Amino acid sequence: MSYPSPWQPGQSGPGWNQPRAWQEPQAAGHSMLASTADRERAVDVLRAGFGEGRMQQPEFEKRVARAYAARTVGELALLVADLPQGPVPLPAVSGPVPRTFLPVAAPPKTNEKAIGAAICGVLCLVTAGLTGVPAVILGHSARSEMRRTGEGGEGLALMGLVFGWLSTVGWALFVTLLFVAVLAS
C-alpha cells in the first residue's frame, strides 16, 4: 500500500494542489503557523516511522526536536515527507495462536463438599477419628459431583478420603482388637 507524501516546495503534478485533511488550502497552507496539535500529529507520524524501523534513534530525536521548534505547517510537512502518514498496516498472522498468548481461563470453582471432606479429614487427627466417617462420605460425594459438574477440588476430596479411611480403618482395627482381647480374657 503506498501513501502519498505531503507537498514539498518545487513539486508539481496531479494531486499536489489538493490539501491534506490536517492542512489548509495551499494558498495560505504552508506559511500558516503550526498549532500544538499540528506538531503532535507530526511527532506521532515520526514515532510510527521510528517504531517501524524507518529511521535511526539520532535522526528520530533530531526530527522530533525540529518538529517542536517548527513555526509553520510547511516545516512540519517537510519533516514527515518521506514517511507514510501513519503506521503501515501489518499483514494478518496466519495459523493458530500459541497457547502462551491465549487468555488465561479462570480456574474452575472448588466444590464445597471437597472442602468439607478435607476439613473433616484433617480434624480426624484432632478428634481422635470422630470426623473420619463424615470425611469419607463428603469425599465420595464431592468426587461424584465434580465428575458431573466439572468443578475443581479433586485433591481436597482425595485428602479427605485418605484421612477419613485411615481413621475409620484404624478405629475399626482398634475396636476389633479390643473385642478379641475382651473375648480372650
- The per-residue pLDDT string of the chain (185 residues; one tens digit each, 9 = 90 and over) reads 455 555 454 444 444 444 454 444 444 456 789 899 989 999 998 998 898 889 999 999 999 999 999 999 889 888 888 887 755 555 665 677 777 777 887 888 999 999 999 999 999 988 888 999 999 999 999 999 999 998 999 999 999 999 999 999 998 999 999 999 999 98
Task: Give the three-state DSSP class for 33.
Answer: strand
Q: And the C-alpha cell for 27?
A: 494558498
* CB environment 128-151: b (16+ within 10 A), e (fewer): ebebbbbbbbbbbbbbebbeeeeb
Distance CA 151, CA 154 (A): 9
User: CB–CB of 159/138 below 8 Å?
Assistant: no
Q: And the C-alpha cell for 94?
A: 496466519
- The pLDDT value recorded for residue 16 is 45
- The pLDDT value recorded for residue 5 is 53
Distance CA 89, CA 82 (A): 17
- The pLDDT value recorded for residue 17 is 47
- The pTM of this model reads 0.44
Distance CA 35, CA 47 (A): 18
User: CB–CB of 161/140 below 8 Å?
Assistant: yes
Q: Which of 30, 4, 2 is nearest to 16 (CA)?
A: 4
Distance CA 68, CA 41 (A): 11
Task: Give the three-state DSSP class for 15.
Answer: coil
| Largest Cα span, the chain | 122
The partner residues of 152 in beta bridges, in order of sequence, read 110
Task: Give the three-state DSSP class for 152.
Answer: strand
